[in-house]
Chain A
Amino acid sequence: MNDRMQNLSRLALLLALATVIHTAEAVLPITFVWFRFGFANIIGLATLYLFGFKDALVVTIGRIFLGSLFAGLFGSPAFLLSFAGGTSSILAMGLVHRCCSRVFSETGISVVGAVVHNAAQLVVAYLLLVRNTGIFLLLPLMLFAAVGTGFVNGLATRFLVAHFRKVKN
């Protein structure tokens, strides 16, 4: 019982943390930086490493719903893009973490997540919003952005996970 309570409160804490980061980033104007950093994914990925895929899925989907509610974007195209990107990204990261965590560390898996996130967003934007193949001209730019942000987030996750494990022991 005590253990379950501990798990639940830990999950709640992680979800709250991810939601705050997600909301802060969602209300940030994107006039000078045309991409988002996706810092909230640091929490999602750290959860994947520390507590497993199920918790990471809860944290990711939960923060997208709560974050877009707080930012006033719930149900908007931005929410759809965020949801499609976030869900496919955490699924991809879970898969890679399971099959190839000996080849890739947090950094590599974060890059995979960022790339899948952007690719999924482009596909959904094409299917639901734009309907013009010209949108795929953005793919190389989004790949560059994904590699950069994914790498930075991956490093942050690495430090977070390492620190958490040190504190725990």
Chain B
Amino acid sequence: MIITRYATIGDWALVAALIVLATALLFVLPASVVSGGTAVVVHSGDRIVGRYSLEKDRRVTVTGPLGTTVVQIKGGRAHIEASPCPHKTCSRMGEVGSEGGLLVCVPNEVTVSVGSERQDGIDAVSR
């Protein structure tokens, strides 16, 4: 039988299960990891630079190893406006809003994510 010539039934079952799992995660993960956020959290490396409300328009400047990244919050959406990195991939990632999401500048170690504000009474954790 052609099906069992290159892989056993177990192999095919495993592959099918993993594809189903991956497809399911594709839909479930974005909602559970980042969702319903009202605050923009800006990280530099593993340090939290600050949390900013999406409601108020403002510019946030973050200093990383390469220089200054400028994050713009305007009309309920956050966007990386300027970055010292060579490829500017982060700027081209577009913008994130309250639906959640993540902008990353790997060279300058800056991440901008939208997540819900912490409800556990802790403002921030420093390490």
Contacts and interface: CB of A to CB of B under 8 A. Distances in A.
A134 interface: yes
A10 B6 CA distance: 27
Contacts of A108: 7-8, 10-11, 14-15
A105 B10 CA distance: 8
A144 B18 CA distance: 8
Contact of A140 (B7, B11, B23, B102): B23
Interface of B: 6-8, 10-11, 14-15, 18-19, 21-23, 25-26, 29-30, 33-34, 43, 46, 102, 104, 111, 113
Interface stretch (A40-48, A49-57, A86-94, A147-155): A147-155
B19 A155 contact: no
Given A105-B11, A137-B30, A140-B29, A147 B19 contact: yes
Q: Report, nearest first, the 5 A-B pairs whose CB atoms are least far apart.
A: A108-B11, A143-B22, A103-B10, A134-B102, A107-B7
B11 A111 contact: yes
Nearest to A105: B8
Interface residues of A, number: 27
A134 B111 contact: yes
A136 interface: yes
B30 A132 contact: no
Contacts of B22: 139-141, 143-144, 147
B113 to A, nearest CB: 6
Contacts of A134: 33-34, 102, 104, 111, 113
Given A144-B22, A154-B7, A111 B15 contact: yes
Given A108-B7, A108-B14, A147-B19, 16 more contacts: A103-B8, A111-B15, A131-B43, A132-B102, A132-B104, A132-B111, A132-B113, A133-B34, A134-B34, A134-B102, A137-B33, A139-B29, A140-B23, A141-B26, A154-B7, A154-B11
